[in-house]
Each structure stands twice: as structure tokens, then as C-alpha cells.
Amino acid sequence: MDRIPILKMGQFLLVTIQVDLYDRLALNLENDLINMVSKTGARGVLIDISAVSIVDSFMGRILGNIASMSRIMDAETVVVGMQPAVAITLVELGLTLQGVYTALDVEKGMELLHDKIGTIEHPEDEEEEAPHDDID
């Protein structure tokens, strides 16, 4: 069965969706991602959808679900790189993804996540957080 890889980057989980999502795949992603959050104790989830050109209301709901579930588990969700056509479609469908943070690209999304969870971050150099910060 197809799966979308979930990468762990320090305190964050990084998901890059490279294919068009069909329903089964989206449900799997939701499952895997939430399990991963609980397993790793991640503080943020970054979903890159820059390669996604087609969305429907189901996809929009899944994104919203992931965000709400992550929030309960104390992780913020940032969706980055949404295509203009996708944004227009979601707005026309009435899905404005309340509660989901958005950013233009992965870099800005990472900055935003650092901002949100309050880790000290120098905007100039992209150094990764020391993982022991929140373990103890």
C-alpha cells in the first residue's frame, strides 16, 4: 500500500506530498502522522503541498483534522506552498482551514514553527534546535 514518508527533523515532522492525494492515501497519512506525533513527541508538523494541484473537500477536511489532532497533542501544524488554484478551490468550497497555519515555502514555514513554539531562532543562520531542550 502506498504511503507518504514522514521525516523527523529535530522537534518537527516534515511531510512532503509529491503525488496527488486520493482518499485512501490521505487517510493513511492522517493515521501515520498522528501516530508519529505521539511516538516522537514532536512539537510541530510541517506539510508541504506545493506539488498538489488537485484538492477536494475531503482533502481540506483531512488537513483540518490533522491540525486539530496535532493541536490536542501539543503540536502546531503549518501547511506550506499551497498553489493559487488550490487556494481558490478551498475558498470556493468554504474551507478556510481555520486553525491551520500557512506559509509560502518550507523555509518560512520552519521559521513560523520556531516562532510558534518559542524556540530561540536566529533568522540568518538555519541552525537546528538541540533536541534535549524539551526532553527533560
Partner 1 sequence: MNNTAQLLQNNKKKILENWMQNQLADEALRDDLISNEELRRQSDELLNGLATATASGNVENTYAPEYETVTEILSDISITRARQGFTPRETGMYVLSLKQAINQVLEEKLSDQPEQLYKELSIINKLLDNLSMITFDTYIKGREEVILRQNDEINEISTPVIRVWEGILALPIIGTLDSARTQVVMENLLLEIVNTGSSIAILDISGVPAVDSLVAQHLIKTVSATRLMGAECIISGIRAEIAQTIVHLGIDLSNIKTKATLANALQLAFSMRGVEVKKTARYTGLNLNK
User: Footprint of partner 1 on this chain (CB under 8 A)?
Assistant: 79-84, 86-88, 90-92, 96-97, 102-105, 108-109
Considering the complex, what minimum distance in angstroms separates the CB of residue 128 from partner 1? 22
Q: With beta carbons less than 8 A apart as the criterion, state whether 129 and 11 touch.
A: yes
The amino acid present at 20, given as its one-letter code, is: D
Residue whose CB is less far from partner 1, 51 or 130: 51
Residue whose CB is less far from partner 1, 6 or 86: 86
Residue 65: HSE in the Cβ half-sphere, 13 Å Cα cutoff: 14
Residue whose CB is less far from partner 1, 85 or 130: 85
Considering the complex, what minimum distance in angstroms separates the CB of residue 55 from partner 1? 10
User: What is the sign of the dihedral through the CA atoms of 72, 82, 46 and 20?
Assistant: positive
Residue 67's SS3 state is helix
Considering the complex, what minimum distance in angstroms separates the CB of residue 84 from partner 1? 3
d(CA 44, CA 73): 10
Residue whose CB is less far from partner 1, 16 or 40: 16
